[in-house]
């Protein structure tokens, strides 16, 4: 049985990655030196659902379920919103930059819920407890055992970058673990449905 470590995610456009990278260069200097390891920019993404080790025989079923999710989801207009650490400031292990929709939220979270349901229906028949969805991009991970951060760390960091973009592709990734770090490979990609305005353009 071949197992593959899989997750579903949205990528960032190149110009948005550049904006986030410039912000991170200014923000990371406020974290304790030598205690954080940057995530390579090529690995920046917004995870919608993490499936863990999946039997290769289940991948086609999962891909089919994700295709249905994408067909029902509108293209998303996203922006950066806030930043912080997981799981909390007392035990920080990952630093993130928040991602959310412009205007009223809802479609991004619904797409994440659909991707998680797809996993439960195809690769985790008994289901599993999911953590609440929080749209984000992981920029760095803590080295070794996490130590509490000073309570004023946030106050010294610049505001989250002002960047807006449209997400139109849902991707199923395979994560391959190597001594140098994780490498991600796209297995499948699915176009999100165009919104009402876009559909009018196609018709016209």
- Write out the two tokens for 181: 């770090």
d(CA 168, CA 70): 9
Domain ranges of the chain: 3-203
pLDDT of the chain along its 204 residues, tens only?
688 999 999 999 999 999 999 999 999 999 988 899 999 999 999 999 999 999 988 999 999 999 999 999 999 999 999 999 999 888 899 999 999 999 767 999 999 999 999 999 888 654 445 688 999 999 999 988 878 888 788 888 999 999 999 999 999 999 998 877 789 999 999 999 975 434 333 333
- Write out the two tokens for 36: 């954080």
For the chain, report the end-to-end CA distance as a whole number of angstroms. 50
The CATH number of the structural domain formed by 3-203 is: 3.90.1140.10
Strand, helix or coil for residue 60: helix
d(CA 198, CA 193): 9
Distances (CA, A) of 147 to 8, 20, 32, 42: 30, 25, 10, 27
- H or E segment at 18? helix 14-27
Q: Provide the b/e sequence for 103-129 (b: ≥16 CB within 10 Å).
A: eeeebbbebbebbbebbbebbeeeeee
pLDDT in tens, 49-82: 999 999 988 999 999 999 999 999 999 999 999 9
d(CA 151, CA 154): 7
């Amino acid at each position: 049985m071949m197992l593959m470590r899989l997750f579903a995610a949205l990528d960032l456009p190149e110009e948005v990655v550049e904006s986030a990278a410039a912000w991170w260069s200014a923000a990371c200097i406020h974290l304790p030196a030598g205690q954080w390891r940057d995530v390579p920019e090529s690995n920046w993404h917004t995870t919608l659902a993490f499936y863990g080790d999946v039997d290769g025989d289940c991948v086609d079923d999962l891909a089919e379920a994700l295709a249905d999710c994408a067909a029902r989801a509108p293209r998303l207009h996203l922006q950066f919103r806030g930043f912080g650490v997981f799981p909390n400031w007392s035990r920080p292990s990952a630093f993130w930059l928040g991602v959310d929709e412009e205007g009223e939220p809802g479609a991004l979270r619904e797409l994440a819920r659909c991707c998680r349901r797809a996993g439960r229906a195809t690769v985790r028949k008994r289901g599993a407890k999911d953590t609440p969805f929080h749209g984000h991009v992981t920029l760095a991970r803590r080295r070794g055992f996490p130590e509490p951060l000073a309570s004023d760390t946030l106050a010294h960091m610049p505001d989250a970058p002002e960047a807006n973009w449209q997400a139109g592709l849902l991707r199923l990734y395979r994560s391959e673990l190597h001594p140098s770090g994780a490498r991600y490979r796209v297995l499948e990609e699915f176009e999100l449905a165009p919104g009402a305005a876009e559909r009018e353009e196609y018709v016209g």
